[in-house]
Amino acid sequence: MELYKTNQLKIYNSLSKSKEIFKPLIEGKVGMYVCGPTVYSNVHLGNVRTFMSFDMIFRYLKHLGYKVRYVRNITDAGHLENDADAGEDRIAKKARLEEIEPMEVVQRYTVDFHETLQTINNLPPSIEPTATGHIVEQIEIIKDIIEKGFAYVENGSVYFDVLKYNEKEHYGILSGRNIEDSIHNTRELDGQSEKKNPQDFALWKKADERHIMRWPSPWSNGFPGWHLECSAMSTKYLGETFDIHGGGMDLKFPHHECEIAQSKVNNGVYPVNYWMHANMLILNGQKMAKSTGNYILPNEIFSGDNKILSKAFSPSATRFFMLQANYRSILDFTSAGLEASEKGYIKLMEALSGLDKIETSKTSSIAINAWKQKCYDAMNDDFNTPVLIAHLFEAVKFVNLLLDKKESISVEDLATLKSTFNAFVFDVLGLKNELQEDSSDKLSGVVEMLIAMRKDARDNKDWAMSDKIRDELAILGIQLKDGKEGTTFSVN
């Protein structure tokens, strides 16, 4: 039986501002959309935290037995500077500065994004659509919104009429804002005179002569507004209403608010049942962001090539550090915090390695099933990884006591401890045992050194030494194979 049938998962819904029991639209299936990156620069650690948070959520939903369709977009057009409706496209600007094609920028930083998330051990989404790949769908949505009277054309650009929408719906339902607040906080922008109201947002922008990325439309040669792409792609792949929409806390307004409004007009229904928002990572007391230069890149952490940290930290130690805070909490990035997390991570991996050395008894003195339930209770409470990790360290104590023969455990309970411990550490939290990988790398290095020594012996016709190295390695389960390309080895 699937685990979701015996586990009552609660999710904090940003829409209701409360924890709600999760009930997917279709039993056993989950549709989840997460706003992806705008690929104009290297992905920094603050971005990685958001995507890692939803990777953890994706992993746990799969662990519970749900069939999850996880859609995460790539924004490769339409995202203007300062998230505004005027100014230069971020990708086009990068292309202009580097004198390359915009799609070269997109390719370079999409590859970086994928490589970084793979290094931190994120699973790929089910579908990863791009904004430029869905221009037709976006144009069709705009046509529909205009036809229904909630958008207007001005000088080749199309704007969503927020005031008209707000007459019957609540523009601000997600963020808790009202129109008066929106008007008060609206920035003065170039070209804003085109709008009927300052809080209206662009569905389509006419491209000026400098704008490299443009497409034909019924209104002008131009490009879609940034907010529109997510409505188009989520609807196409998940339907008019779907289960979960995620993103960073900074996207709640205006991006997600605009998504709700345009999707509600287009489809006649609210698009999402559970809105989820991951909180920010702060550095030097401020939000980590590309725009301010206050950020650190993951590779700078892994290599130690930075001016912030005392040393290099591995991808799994870094991932573990971020998982020790709830995804909705602000996390302060510090060298001391990473060092403490690294020590904790090593303890976890050592305990996992010790599981195979435990001797069993007829009975158990440890309540393993009660511990297992506490792990599920933590994750069922809005994916509470800090509490889960606290319970995993209880398991570390169990392992150490069992190895010291101060506690006893039955065969059945040991199997439960092993499967649960491994499932939450590797499958749900997405950690890797890098200590084992390091040992493997060291073994390879030693064997390669012995192969080189054996080659020297053979070159010097010292057959006795050559055979001794081969035979001693064979005793240890390491087989050498001589060939035209040189000597290789395998471990039995």
Number of independent structural domains in the chain: 3
Tell me: do 264 and 294 sit in the same domain: no
Tell me: do 324 and 446 sit in the same domain: no
Q: Which of 374, 404, 428 is the last residue of a domain?
A: 428
Q: Which of 278, 313, 337 is the last residue of a domain?
A: 278
Tell me: do 415 and 474 sit in the same domain: no
pLDDT (0 to 100) of residue 481 = 78
Tell me: do 34 and 117 sit in the same domain: yes
Tell me: do 341 and 455 sit in the same domain: no
Tell me: do 242 and 269 sit in the same domain: yes
Tell me: do 417 and 384 sit in the same domain: yes
Tell me: do 206 and 320 sit in the same domain: no
Averaged pLDDT, groups of 10, the chain, 492 residues long: 96 98 98 96 95 98 98 89 77 86 93 97 98 97 98 97 95 89 52 80 91 93 95 98 97 96 98 98 86 89 92 96 98 95 96 95 97 98 98 97 96 97 98 74 68 82 83 77 74 62
Prediction pTM value: 0.87
For 386, phi then psi, to 5°, come to -60, -40
Write out the two tokens for 467: 């055979």
Q: Which of 248, 278, 308 is the last residue of a domain?
A: 278
Distances (CA, A) of 387 to 340, 384, 457: 17, 6, 57
447-466 per-residue burial string, b: 16 or more CB within 10 A, e: under 16 = beebbeebeebbeeeeeeeb
Residue 248 pairs in a beta bridge with 278
Q: Which domain holds residue 52?
A: 3-278
Tell me: do 325 and 238 sit in the same domain: no
Tell me: do 213 and 236 sit in the same domain: yes
Q: CATH no. for residue 253?
A: 3.40.50.620
Tell me: do 264 and 291 sit in the same domain: no
Task: Name the nearest CA neighbour of 156 among 212, 217, 112.
Answer: 217
Sign, CA dihedral 341-342-346-349, equals positive
Write out the two tokens for 168: 């019957």
Q: What whole-number distance in Å separates Cα of residue 133 and Cα of residue 131? A: 5
Q: For residue 254, is the peptide bond before it cis, meaning its omega torsion is within 30 degrees of 0?
A: yes
Tell me: do 148 and 258 sit in the same domain: yes
Q: CATH no. for residue 379?
A: 1.10.730.10
Q: What whole-number distance in Å separates Cα of residue 141 and Cα of residue 135? A: 10
